[in-house]
Structure 1
């Protein structure tokens, strides 16, 4: 089995001095997400579902859930 190189991207807006933030990568048509301080835990999501999540977040629909 061959190993695939994943190129992770961190936001340029990440202000955490330790560099902890959400990182994204594209792989086989899906989006991979992970927290930089726990890189072994990776979540896979479709671009459409990520877009819906981001739109809901921006619209404030997820305020107060945490």
Structure 2
């Protein structure tokens, strides 16, 4: 699946006072895709769902 086919949404963990300054997320069964909303055509981070879960657990502390 290309990144153009993904359904991107603003992360609920992204709370910026600037509406165009956030982290966007797109999920598939095997990969979590992350990108900067200001520069969506630049590098993106791709991680496994288990790594994303571990990160969220750590970040919520």
Q: State the TM-score, normalizing by the size of structure 2.
A: 0.72
The structure with the largest alpha-carbon Rg is 1
- Kindly state the Cα deviation for residue 11 of structure 1 after the two structures are TM-superposed: 3.6
Higher strand share: 1
Corresponding pairs, count: 58
| Whole-angstrom distance in 1 between the partners of 2:19 and 2:60 | 26
Query: Which segments of 5 or more consecutive residues in structure 2 lack a partner in the other structure?
Result: none
1:8 paired with 2:8, answer yes
Question: Whose helix fraction is larger, Structure 1's or Structure 2's?
Answer: 2
CA gap of 1:6–1:49, structure 2 versus 1, over 3 A, is: same
**TM-score calculated relative to the size of structure 1:** 0.68
1:26 matched to 2:27: yes
Unmatched tracts of structure 1, length 5 or more? 60-66
SS at match of 1:38: coil
Provide the aligned C-alpha RMSD in A.
2.4
Relative contact order, CA 8 A, sep 6+: which one is greater?
Answer: 2
